[in-house]
């Protein structure tokens, strides 16, 4: 197989995750001036006709390959650099929109209603975060108050556990 097809796939697989290395191989083969038939592609790159026609169908559907309207039907890739660039812009716009949407969902989440959360990170390191700022709490007085409340809750829980144990003895 053409080693450059692996490079093409390495770039395009992020834009089209459903594509295989066969898609990249067929696509790279179509970087030519003249259209070529699916049967001829299969013969020249040594892939089955089924694999080639499946890849061609997907490539045409994605807009990377153009199909001629005359017989025999031919296929060609018009401008791979332009196609990559325009599809990259679409993916980046979708990712940017996703960031905005996730921020909106997080800010409107009813599950995070202003409480302060204790998060264990990296094997036991602990940081306290507040929902409002989504950042570490730096105020020493606030941290001491949280510590006092947590310690009191731990003592209450321990007392309750001991009482339950005493009852069940």
Q: Which of the listed residues 84, 108, 128 is the one where a domain comes to its end?
A: 84
- How much is the pLDDT for 121? 47
> Is 67 found in the same domain as 137?
no
Mean pLDDT of 103-113: 65
Give the chain's domain count: 2
Pair type for strands 75-76 and 66-67: antiparallel
Give the pLDDT band of residue 109 (cuts 50, 70, 90). low
Residue 22 has pLDDT above 70, yes or no: yes
133 located within any domain: yes
What is the maximum span of the chain, computed from C-alpha positions, in angstroms? 90
Decide: 21 and 10 in contact? Cβ < 8 Å. no
Q: Which of the listed residues 65, 84, 103 is the one where a domain comes to its end?
A: 84
- How much is the pLDDT for 167? 55
Q: What is this structure's pTM?
A: 0.56
For residue range 25-77, list pLDDT tens digits in order: 899 999 887 899 999 999 999 999 999 999 999 999 998 999 998 888 999 99
Q: Which of the listed residues 29, 62, 84 is the one where a domain comes to its end?
A: 84
């Amino acid at each position: 197989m053409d080693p450059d097809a692996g490079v093409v796939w390495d770039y395009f697989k992020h834009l089209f995750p459903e594509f295989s290395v066969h898609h990249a191989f067929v696509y790279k083969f179509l970087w030519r001036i003249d259209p070529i038939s699916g049967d001829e592609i299969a013969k020249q790159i040594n892939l089955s006709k089924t694999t080639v026609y499946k890849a061609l169908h997907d490539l045409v559907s994605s807009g990377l390959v153009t199909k001629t309207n005359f017989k025999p039907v031919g296929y060609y890739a018009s401008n791979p650099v332009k196609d990559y660039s325009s599809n990259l812009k679409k993916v980046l716009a979708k990712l940017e929109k996703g960031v905005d949407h996730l921020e909106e969902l997080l800010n409107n989440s009813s599950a995070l209603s202003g409480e302060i959360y204790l998060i264990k990170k990296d094997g036991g390191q602990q940081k306290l975060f507040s929902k409002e700022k989504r950042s570490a709490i730096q105020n020493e007085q606030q941290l001491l108050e949280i510590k006092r409340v947590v310690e009191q809750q731990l003592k209450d829980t321990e007392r309750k556990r001991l009482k339950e144990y005493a009852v069940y003895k």
